[in-house]
Amino acid sequence: MNALKLVMTTAGLGRFTAAQTDNGVDLTVNGVGFTAQAFVAAPSLTALPGEFRRVSTVSGESLADNIVHLTVQDDAAVTYTVTGFGMFLADGTLFATYSQALPIVEKSTGSMLALAIDIVFPQAGVENITFGSTDFLNPPATTDKKGVVELATYAEADAADTTRVTTGAVVKAMLATAIAAVSEAIDGLMSRTIYGYGLVKGGGSLGTNLTFTVDTATAQQIQAGTGGDVAVTPAGLAGAGAVYVVAQALSANGGYRVWSDGLKECWGSVFVAANVTVVVPMPIEHTAFVVPAGAPGSIAQDEQSMGVSAVTAAGFSVRNENPVAATFYWHSKGV
């Protein structure tokens, strides 16, 4: 892009010439005015025709004897079109102007204007021109706005620095350090040895695939009660002819138990004044009843004073022929 050729105003040229004699003239440009009005950039101008906005966030630097790089920033929530502009010195003097027919820049409400242009002056010695605010040229970057960042060193990144940006080289170095630490920890674990204990047999170094086993007891070991380092399984019990409980439920007033050979037991107690129906805790084909003659602390009763009738898989009836009510204890076995 070609540099824009500004026209110095007579007043601006006077200030510029005076500054060349080193008499302390301030050539600080601290504002840029915008206009959308077509005008002739004549040296006689003392004000910017149709100026609608002046921006003070201006910065720049000299690139050559008569070229200045100018940057203007405007983040206000306004909309406008610029076809011309003027540079103002700190004392309000209109220093130079530029105008063209087509828009130089357009800004919408939600956007930020960042105008960067190179300006050619008719005279050399523009190094005497300075600018007001220069901080905005290098604003710090945030999570919401672009800006200048500082690259973090390894130490800064390792310290979880939140104001600097980490480069790929630093990330790679940090990953290498982390991987090395994990590898060292794994190597330490691989040097360990694990062995089984009690029923569990096998083991060895963690650096190899480990196998752990539990041996089952044979029928002979179960019958003889030998082998302290083997496990008894239901299949082993069956093979040894052993009978064991496969299900049970116990309570203060009775319960039931199912054995591995199919035998069922139910028991309980009931207070009987005359006749009571007993519901067994699980269905059972009663094959035998054990009916005690009495209970501790109760009136002694013989088999003729308590009787059982109406026996089904779900329960039975108890009658008390004694005039004194008593507790009836029962125990039934069946399948």
Determine which of 144-158, 191-205, 318-332 has the lowest per-residue pLDDT on average: 144-158
User: Is residue 19 a contact partner of residue 75, using CB atoms and an 8 Å limit?
Assistant: no
CA 8 – CA 95 distance, rounded (Å): 6
**Do 115 and 27 share a domain, yes or no?**
yes
| Domain closes at, from 215, 241, 267 | 241
User: Is residue 230 a contact partner of residue 221, using CB atoms and an 8 Å limit?
Assistant: yes
Question: Which residues make beta-bridge pairs with 212?
Answer: 202
In a domain, 151, yes or no: yes
How confident is the model at residue 146, as a pLDDT? 63
User: Is residue 101 a contact partner of residue 72, using CB atoms and an 8 Å limit?
Assistant: no
At position 232, the amino acid (one-letter code) is V
pLDDT at 54 over 80: yes
The larger pLDDT score, comparing residue 95 to residue 26, is at 95
How confident is the model at residue 325, as a pLDDT? 84
How confident is the model at residue 3, as a pLDDT? 63
The larger pLDDT score, comparing residue 134 to residue 299, is at 134
**Do 232 and 307 share a domain, yes or no?**
no
DSSP tag of 20: H
Q: What is the mean pLDDT of residues 265-289?
A: 83
CA 105 – CA 98 distance, rounded (Å): 13
User: Is residue 180 a contact partner of residue 194, using CB atoms and an 8 Å limit?
Assistant: no
Tokens of 111: 């956007």
**Do 21 and 78 share a domain, yes or no?**
yes
Q: What is the mean pLDDT of residues 46-71?
A: 83
Determine which of 16-30, 127-141, 191-205 has the lowest per-residue pLDDT on average: 127-141
Instruction: Tell me how many degrees the CA angle 105-109-111 measures, rounded to the nearest 5.
Output: 60
Phi, psi dihedrals of residue 193, rounded to the nearest 5°: -125, 135
pLDDT at 1 over 70: no
In a domain, 183, yes or no: no
In a domain, 177, yes or no: no
Q: What is the mean pLDDT of residues 189-208?
A: 81
pTM assigned to the model: 0.41
The DSSP secondary structure of 173-213, one letter per residue, reads HHHHHHHHHHHHHHHHHHT-EEE--TTEEEEEETTS---EE
Phi, psi dihedrals of residue 9, rounded to the nearest 5°: -80, 165
**pLDDT band at 142; cut points 50, 70, 90:** low
**Do 36 and 130 share a domain, yes or no?**
yes
**Do 55 and 106 share a domain, yes or no?**
yes
CA 64 – CA 68 distance, rounded (Å): 7
Contacts of 305 (CB under 8 A, 6+ apart): 320, 321, 322
**pLDDT band at 144; cut points 50, 70, 90:** low
Q: Is 143 left (phi over 0), alpha (psi -120 to 50) or beta?
A: alpha
**pLDDT band at 32; cut points 50, 70, 90:** very high
Instruction: Tell me how many degrees the CA angle 225-227-229 measures, rounded to the nearest 5.
Output: 135
pLDDT at 7 over 70: yes
Nearest to 268 by CA among 247, 277, 243, 335: 277
**Do 144 and 227 share a domain, yes or no?**
no
Give the sheet arrangement for strand 286-290, strand by strand. Answer: 245-251, 254-259, 264-272, 326-334, 286-290
**pLDDT band at 299; cut points 50, 70, 90:** very low
**Do 35 and 133 share a domain, yes or no?**
yes
**Do 262 and 275 share a domain, yes or no?**
yes
Q: Which of 170-174, 189-193, 250-254 has the highest mean pLDDT?
A: 170-174
Strands (E), 112-191: 113-120, 130-131
**pLDDT band at 103; cut points 50, 70, 90:** very high
How confident is the model at residue 191, as a pLDDT? 75
In a domain, 17, yes or no: yes
**Do 14 and 126 share a domain, yes or no?**
yes
How confident is the model at residue 295, as a pLDDT? 45
**Do 299 and 254 share a domain, yes or no?**
yes
Q: How many domains does the chain have?
A: 4
What is the chain's Cα-based Rg?
A: 52
In a domain, 119, yes or no: yes
How confident is the model at residue 16, as a pLDDT? 82
**Do 129 and 145 share a domain, yes or no?**
no
Residue 194's domain spans which residues? Answer: 190-241
Phi, psi dihedrals of residue 118, rounded to the nearest 5°: -100, 130
User: Is residue 71 a contact partner of residue 114, using CB atoms and an 8 Å limit?
Assistant: yes
Task: Calculate the alpha carbon distances from 77 to 81, 109, 111, 292 in Å.
Answer: 14, 4, 8, 101
Residue that has been written with the tokens 């440009």 in this structure: 29
**pLDDT band at 245; cut points 50, 70, 90:** confident
Residue that has been written with the tokens 């010195």 in this structure: 89
- Give me the CATH number covering residue 319: 2.60.40
175, exposed or middle or buried, with CB in 10 Å at 0-12, 13-18, 19+?
A: exposed
In a domain, 326, yes or no: yes
